[in-house]
Amino acid sequence: MENADKVLNVLKKSGRELRTGEIVDQSGLEKKEVDNIIKILKTKGKIFSSKRCFWQANPE
């Protein structure tokens, strides 16, 4: 689950909504892997999307 933590940290540090491509660039992971991680994090309620294709970490 360390890659999921990496994606979540990228989103938290950005402080703004990011597109999947930006997450890929900043995390160094492959797009397919980031897409799968996004689905998992969304299901767990750790991230949300206020508009299509943009992701943001839920405030804690």
Mind listing the pLDDT tens digit for each residue in 28-48?
Answer: 999 999 999 999 999 999 999
Hey, is 58 helix, strand or coil?
A: coil
| pLDDT computed for residue 32 by the predictor | 97
Position 15 confidence tier, pLDDT thresholds 50, 70, 90: confident
Please, what's the b/e burial string for 24-46 (b: 16 or more CB within 10 A of its CB; e: otherwise)? bebbebeeeebeebbeebeeeeb
DSSP state of 44: T
Determine the average pLDDT of the residues in 20-32: 97
Residue that has been written with the tokens 């703004």 in this structure: 16
- For the cut 90, the answer to whether the pLDDT of residue 59 exceeds it is no
